[in-house]
Chains A and B, each alone.
Chain A
Amino acid sequence: MIELLPPALILLASALWIALVPNVWHRLGLFFGPVLTLYAIWMVPDGVSLTAPFLDYQLELIEASPERRLFATIFAIMAGVGGLYAFNHARRLELASAFAYASGAIGVCFAGDLITLFLFWELMALFSTLVVWFGGTPGARAAGVRYAIVHLLGGVILKVGIEGVVVHTGSIDIQPLQANNFDTYMMLAGILINAAAPPVSAWLSDAYPEASPSGSLFLSAFTTKTAILALILLFPGTELLIYVGMFMILYGIIWALLENNVRRILAFSIVNQVGFMVVAVGIGTPMALNGATAHAFAHIIYKALLFMSAGVVIYHTGKEKCNELGGLYRTMPITAACGIVGALAISSFPLTSGFTTKTMISEAASMEGLVLVWYVLAAASAGVFLHAGIKFPWYVFFQKDSGLRPKDAPWNMSLAMLLFVAMCFLIGIMPAPFYELLPYPTDFNAYKPGKVVFYLQLLLFSGLAFFLLLPLIKRTNTLTLDTDWLWRRLGKSLALHGLNALSKLSSAFARVSPLVTSRITQWANASSSDQEQQGTLSWSIGTTAAWIMTLLILYIGYYYW
Chain B
Amino acid sequence: MQDNNTQRIIHRAWFIFAVILIATLVVEWFVPGKTPFESSQWWSFGAVFGFFSCFAMVVFAKLLGFVLKRSEDYYQETQDD
- A interface list, Cβ under 8 A from B: 253-254, 257-258, 366-367, 371, 374-375, 378-379, 382-383, 386, 448-451, 453-466, 469, 472-473, 476-481, 488-489, 492-493, 496
Contacts and interface: CB of A to CB of B under 8 A. Distances in A.
Among A253, A258, A458, A459: residue with most chain B CB under 10 A: A458
Interface string B49-64: 1111111011111101
Given A450-B33, A457-B46, A461-B21, A254 B57 contact: yes
Given A258-B68, A453-B24, A366 B37 contact: yes
Contacts of A496: 81
B7 interface: no
Contact of A477 (B50, B60, B65, B72): B72
A558 B21 CA distance: 62
B71 interface: yes
A521 B53 CA distance: 61
A254 B64 contact: yes
Nearest to B59: A472
Nearest to A381: B50
B31 to A, nearest CB: 5
Of listed A456, A481, A489, residue having the most chain B CB within 10 A: A456
Contacts of A257: 57-58, 61
A492 B78 contact: yes
Contacts of B78: 488-489, 492-493
Interface of B: 17, 20-21, 24-25, 27-28, 31-37, 39-40, 44-55, 57-62, 64-65, 68-72, 74-75, 78, 81
Given A457-B28, A458-B46, A477-B71, A258 B57 contact: no
Contacts of A493: 78
A258 B60 CA distance: 10
Given A382-B50, A465-B51, A457 B33 contact: yes
Contacts of A466: 54
Contacts of B20: 460
A259 to B, nearest CB: 10
Contacts of B53: 378-379, 382-383, 462
A88 B55 CA distance: 43
A122 to B, nearest CB: 28
A523 B18 CA distance: 71
Nearest to A376: B53
A457 B25 contact: yes
B70 A478 contact: yes
Contact of B58 (A374, A386, A450): A386
A456 B24 contact: yes
Given A258-B69, A479-B69, A481-B68, A459 B50 contact: yes
B70 A481 contact: yes
B54 A382 contact: yes
Contacts of A465: 50-52, 54-55, 58
B31 A489 contact: no
A457 B24 contact: yes
Contacts of A477: 71-72
Given A374-B36, A481-B70, 9 more contacts: A451-B34, A460-B21, A461-B48, A472-B58, A478-B65, A480-B64, A480-B65, A480-B70, A496-B81
